[in-house]
Structure 1
Amino acid sequence: MRFRGRVSTQMTIFILFFLHLSQLQPGSFSARVPRNSWVAATGSSILFPGTDKEFDGLHWEFSNPSRTLPILNCGKSYQEIYDQYKTRVELNKSNGSFLLKDLHKADSGEYKITVDLDPSRTRILTLTVLDPLSTPHISRNGSLESHTITLICEVQSGIANSVRWTRGGLALPDDERYWLSEGNSTLTISDAQESDSGYYTCTFSNLVSQSNNSYQLTIKGPEFRTHLGLILPFGLCVSMFLLVLYDCQRLL
């Protein structure tokens, strides 16, 4: 029994030692490199953090699936900002942080900081740059009662993550006559009633902006169609009378 106990203890020590060695194998640090994901708007600026400890040499680089670009190198007695970033980078030499200005979508990718070639002090930041959303434009198809009416909301720039409609500042009525399509950018009202009249607002949102616009929808009821039916014949008669009068004046 004592022999078995010693074997079990030795086996446990061996397993723990093996696991410790496996954690020190080359490449093990890469799996633990801290990563953060940020989102910013085109035209804005973003501050990339440096290091909170002393360093002799620090390097920043940018990469995406198509290219890798060095951004800067700095140390206690030197600093270098590469040509493609000179006009857009403000470096804080004390900790290696830097401000990247005037962002555009081509800046989307990974930003890697390497400190003293120490893998444990390597950090990767993923940046996504998005266009802010323009003010939506709302167009309408139809306005007559008992007909189908469609409100179409569109933005000229930016890509929305969500589109939301409200009526009079409240959620749309829980009515099967109301339905959304085209990623919620199109609102259709079937068998429209005068009670469906009101201010309809569509709100576009993405991770860097939110934009909305409103449209006053007026549903024209039977009275409008009656008036329209009287006005059109009267207008036609007036036009014919004026035409005959003009011909008579020419003959005289």
Structure 2
Amino acid sequence: MSHSTRWEYSNGTGSHTILWHDGGSHTPAIHAPYVGRAVFHPSNGSLTLEDVQESDSGIYRVTVSGGDRESLEILLEVLKPVSRPQLWSSSLVAQATGEVVCEVAEGRVDTITWKKDGQPLSPDRGFHTSNSRSILYLRPAKKSDCGSYSCNASNGISWQETSLNITIAGLSRPLKDTLRVAVVAVVFAVISACGLIIPACQSQKLRIRGELWRWLSAYTSGLVCVACILDCTAGILWMREEGPSVAILLPEIILTYFTVLTFLVSSVVIFQPMIFIQLKSKSAQRTMGYAAPGAAVVAVVMASFLIKNIYQRHGEGCAAFVDVTTLVLSTAAVSALPLLTIFLCYHTTQGRQEEPDVCWIDKARAFEMSQPGTVDTTPS
């Protein structure tokens, strides 16, 4: 009696015939996708699969029909070794939500486990696994999250592990920009203060006068004006990240006032210096005279306050602090160059002058004394 043999495949969604052999001597036809990969052995009815793939996993059923009908089901599971996981992280900033991602490109993954500094992480850290990807959430990221993280992916026949050093930045990109702006502002304010202090420390005989004094006054006032503008900008950037604060809003108002005042002083000294000569009000003279020094002090205090707060915020992470050495040196060199030029011109021309120039403040006093009703109180 001849026996017929049928091989079928089922993967849970459907089944189809691989081959059917009626017991004769002819070779049975192999159905796709097993053409060229399946070899049937008529002597014992067995089936050999070559070049197996993960898609070949499923249930194989062989049915032998003769005097009795008998079936046998065989569960076949084909596994491919997992590839080395790829491990990367999002931008990790202190107090913000971050994530570390582990993804396996090849091979079915049964399990993904995490370790930090060689110690297994507890399951309550917020893992999320989807197919061959696992995400470790840091909510929020903090300094204690810094360290070496490893991701281990495995299946029934293999495992692979990858490590990544995680660094939590204390400062976001906007706060780094705030730091740079504040640093430039404090350098400008300090250089302008030097331009105000150095002439004041000189003796009356060696003090800068004439046109050089006018350009020195215009430059120092303009430089401290720019410092105030930069401080205001840094304060706005800080509040965009940290929210409004009275400690920032009040100095912003004061800086705005000094910005306008120093801009007016600088413009008047350059384009209309006679306005100072005709200025009679003592309070107005004091306001104009103390505008640049006051603005420099406020600008330095405001910038120092921002830098201190930014440094404290940096301490919440483990990344290196922003290196501003090059920025400080280049800004100081550029801003101090006009001052050095003015002082160099003064000392170069001082020896060739037969009589000292009369500065525009002296002209103002002369103009005031020339007005009707003015009494000369200078002792004879």
TM-score, structure 1 as length reference? 0.54
Whether 1:230 aligns to 2:324 is yes
Q: What residue number does 1:125 align with?
A: 74
Counterpart of 1:62, as a letter, is E
Counterpart of 2:16, as a letter, is T
Cα drift, residue 151 of structure 1? 0.6
Residue 237 of structure 1: SS of its match in structure 2?
Answer: helix
The alpha-carbon distance between structure 1 residues 90 and 164, as it changes in their structure 2 partners (threshold 3 A), is: same
2:320 & 2:164 partners in 1: Cα distance? 26
Whether 1:61 aligns to 2:2 is no
The alpha-carbon distance between structure 1 residues 226 and 128, as it changes in their structure 2 partners (threshold 3 A), is: closer
Cα drift, residue 140 of structure 1? 0.9
Cα drift, residue 165 of structure 1? 0.8
Larger RCO: 1 or 2 (CA < 8 Å, sep 6+): 1
Residue 321 of structure 2: SS of its match in structure 1?
Answer: helix
Cα drift, residue 61 of structure 1? 1.8
Counterpart of 1:78, as a letter, is S
Q: What residue number does 2:119 align with?
A: 170
Q: What residue number does 2:128 align with?
A: 181
The alpha-carbon distance between structure 1 residues 196 and 119, as it changes in their structure 2 partners (threshold 3 A), is: farther
Counterpart of 2:91, as a letter, is G
Cα drift, residue 102 of structure 1? 1.8
Checking the alignment, whether the CA contact within 8 Å between 1:167 and 1:200 is kept in structure 2 is yes
2:14 & 2:145 partners in 1: Cα distance? 52
1:225 & 1:107 partners in 2: Cα distance? 49
Q: How does 1:124-163 map to 2 (within 5 A)?
A: 124-127=73-76, 129=78, 132-144=81-93, 148-163=97-112
Cα drift, residue 167 of structure 1? 2.1
The one of 192, 195, 198 equivalent to 2:142 is 192
Cα drift, residue 181 of structure 1? 2.9
1:181 & 1:163 partners in 2: Cα distance? 10
Residue 233 of structure 1: SS of its match in structure 2?
Answer: helix
Counterpart of 1:179, as a letter, is G
Checking the alignment, whether the CA contact within 8 Å between 2:127 and 2:135 is kept in structure 1 is yes
Q: What residue number does 1:27 align with?
A: none
The alpha-carbon distance between structure 1 residues 68 and 119, as it changes in their structure 2 partners (threshold 3 A), is: farther
The alpha-carbon distance between structure 1 residues 208 and 163, as it changes in their structure 2 partners (threshold 3 A), is: same
2:167 & 2:107 partners in 1: Cα distance? 30
The one of 167, 171, 178 equivalent to 1:218 is 167
The one of 15, 19, 28 equivalent to 1:71 is 19
Checking the alignment, whether the CA contact within 8 Å between 2:4 and 2:64 is kept in structure 1 is yes
Deviations along 1:91-131, whole A, 9 cap, x unmatched?
Answer: 44442222201223553444221224355631122445566
The alpha-carbon distance between structure 1 residues 129 and 60, as it changes in their structure 2 partners (threshold 3 A), is: farther
Residue 185 of structure 1: SS of its match in structure 2?
Answer: strand
Q: In proportion to residue count, which structure has more strand?
A: 1
The alpha-carbon distance between structure 1 residues 229 and 171, as it changes in their structure 2 partners (threshold 3 A), is: same
The alpha-carbon distance between structure 1 residues 188 and 68, as it changes in their structure 2 partners (threshold 3 A), is: closer
Cα drift, residue 69 of structure 1? 2.1
Whichever of the two has the greater Rg, that structure is: 2
Residue 327 of structure 2: SS of its match in structure 1?
Answer: helix
Structure 2: runs of 5+ lacking an equivalent? 170-313, 338-380
Cα drift, residue 191 of structure 1? 4.0
1:175 & 1:61 partners in 2: Cα distance? 45
Cα drift, residue 218 of structure 1? 3.4
Counterpart of 2:74, as a letter, is L
Counterpart of 1:156, as a letter, is A
**What percent of counterpart residues are identical?**
23
Residue 103 of structure 1: SS of its match in structure 2?
Answer: coil
Checking the alignment, whether the CA contact within 8 Å between 2:37 and 2:51 is kept in structure 1 is yes
Structure 1: runs of 5+ lacking an equivalent? 1-54, 245-252
2:81 & 2:63 partners in 1: Cα distance? 32
1:224 & 1:198 partners in 2: Cα distance? 10
Cα drift, residue 88 of structure 1? 1.1
Counterpart of 1:137, as a letter, is Q
Residue 52 of structure 2: SS of its match in structure 1?
Answer: coil
1:214 & 1:201 partners in 2: Cα distance? 4
RMSD: 4.0
TM-score, structure 2 as length reference? 0.38
Checking the alignment, whether the CA contact within 8 Å between 1:148 and 1:192 is kept in structure 2 is no
The alpha-carbon distance between structure 1 residues 175 and 164, as it changes in their structure 2 partners (threshold 3 A), is: closer
Checking the alignment, whether the CA contact within 8 Å between 1:153 and 1:186 is kept in structure 2 is yes
